[in-house]
Amino acid sequence: MSLLEVKDLTVGFPTADGLVQAVRGLSFSVEPGRTLAIVGESGSGKTVSTQAILGLLPEADISGSALFEGADLLRLDEERLRQIRGSEISVIFQDPLTSLHPLYKVGWQITELIHVHDAGVSRAQARRRAVELLGLVGIPRPDRRVDDYPHQFSGGMRQRAMIAMALALNPKLVVADEPTTALDATVQAQILDLITRLQREFDIALLLITHDLGVVAGVADEVMVMYAGLPVERADRRTIYYRPHHPYTKGLLESIPGSTGVRKGRLRPIPGQPPSMIAVPPGCAFHPRCRYAMPVCAAELPPLARVTGDGDHASACWLPHEAVGLGEEAEAVRLRASGGPA
């Protein structure tokens, strides 16, 4: 059984200009011990969808369901949800400076978390556990640093402390929202290594939210690409990078220097910009930017459907199933199917 199963999630924000349809019908599942990466650019709905699931968007209009071990997170009362969040599901945010309270010692914050969720643990035990956790995530001399304030930690150490907090209650699922985006390359590598090592060690499922296809390439089991509030493609990691079907996924890969989509020379950027989420284009939201757009694309929304003969690979695009992959051959198939460049 899936650990987390999200079905038909929609999230809308009423604004003076109209309803912002941030997430427009999202379904996915996370298996125990596995890593699902949700990839998308600003405004694709990747962060909003996980925040909705975790009950962090009280002002939004939310529909759908999110079953975590059989219980629908979207319908639980606040108290029960709070218990699950923190103990069974924990979150690592992008910016550790704003997620740690600046006025309390790092160790105190971890101790308090353990103590609040499990009254059977004494403060002294909780503190010992905090020291142990800080050591586990690679903070040097944890018995001393436990009494430091967050500002005494570097950015990388703060993110380590956040990871220690996320692990404190032995969660089954960790949601990591851009966990390394604010960090330098060498620190990012340290943190990614730490997250994946601990994930394996404690058999935790990881839901990784990121815009960075470089990070995903080394970490994810499965990848879901989002565009304008909907998933456009979902497959295992290698399929996404080497055999993309959806033109948006392909466009992303061809925009990133050094990626599988840019073998040499020039980048092939996606023209135009993402749509306004108040006035989402009809049909496939990507069609105004798509090189292969056909008349059907503006009329009908393509479902996220199996790409025949390619395992669990699913794509939401009207192009035929053969139109997978990068390079000349796949390009010819796409152009033939769509009747030439749009």
Partner 1 sequence: MNLLEVRDVVKHFPINEGAVLRRTVGQVHAVDGVSLTLAPGETLGLVGETGCGKSTLARCIAGLHPVTSGTVTFDGQDITNLSRSAMRPFRRDIQVMFQDPYGSLNPRRRVGSIIADPLVIHGVGTARERRRAVSGLMERVGLNPEHYNRFPAEFSGGQRQRIGVARALALKPRLIICDEPVSALDVSIQAQILNLLKDLQDDFGLTYLFIAHDLSVVRHVSDRIAVMYLGRVAELAEADELYEHPRHPYADALLSATAVADPDAADRRSRVILTGDVPSPIDPPSGCRFHPRCPRAGEICSVQEPALEGTAHLTACHFPIGPTDLPGPPEPADREEPAASDTSGGPARRAGDSANGRGTE
The residue ranges that bind partner 1 (CB under 8 A) are 41-42, 140, 154, 156-157, 184-190, 192-193, 211-218, 237-238, 241-242, 251-271, 273-274
Least distance in angstroms from the C-beta of 216 to partner 1: 8
Q: Of 100 and 252, which CB lies nearer to partner 1 in the complex structure?
A: 252
Least distance in angstroms from the C-beta of 210 to partner 1: 10
Inter-residue long-range contacts of 271-279, CB under 8 Å, 24+ positions, other chains counted? 274/41, 274/42, 274/43, 274/44, 274/227, 274/228, 275/228, 277/20, 277/21, 277/22, 277/43, 277/45, 277/228, 277/229, 278/15, 278/17, 278/18, 278/19, 278/20, 278/21, 279/18
Spatial separation of the C-alpha atoms in residues 4 and 205, rounded to whole Å: 9
DSSP strand pairing (35-39 vs 222-227): parallel
Q: Of 191 and 297, which CB lies nearer to partner 1 in the complex structure?
A: 191
Q: Of 43 and 64, which CB lies nearer to partner 1 in the complex structure?
A: 43
Spatial separation of the C-alpha atoms in residues 284 and 121, rounded to whole Å: 53
Q: Of 117 and 237, which CB lies nearer to partner 1 in the complex structure?
A: 237
Least distance in angstroms from the C-beta of 197 to partner 1: 10
Q: Helices in 30-122 by DSSP H: which ranges?
A: 46-53, 78-87, 96-99, 106-117
Q: Of 5 and 178, which CB lies nearer to partner 1 in the complex structure?
A: 178
Least distance in angstroms from the C-beta of 65 to partner 1: 30
Q: Of 42 and 308, which CB lies nearer to partner 1 in the complex structure?
A: 42
Give the helix/strand (H/E) hosting 54.
none
Query: Rounded to the nearest 5 degrees, what angle is found at the Cα of 335, between the Cα atoms of 333 and 338?
Result: 105
Least distance in angstroms from the C-beta of 279 to partner 1: 15
Least distance in angstroms from the C-beta of 237 to partner 1: 5
Q: Of 133 and 215, which CB lies nearer to partner 1 in the complex structure?
A: 215
Least distance in angstroms from the C-beta of 120 to partner 1: 37
Report yes or no: 296 and 213 within 8 Å, Cβ to Cβ.
no
Contacts of 336 (CB under 8 A, 6+ apart): none
Alpha-carbon distance values, 174 to 80, 177, 297, 336 (Å): 18, 10, 36, 44
Least distance in angstroms from the C-beta of 154 to partner 1: 5
Q: Of 218 and 295, which CB lies nearer to partner 1 in the complex structure?
A: 218
Alpha-carbon distance values, 11 to 46, 74, 242, 292 (Å): 11, 12, 32, 29
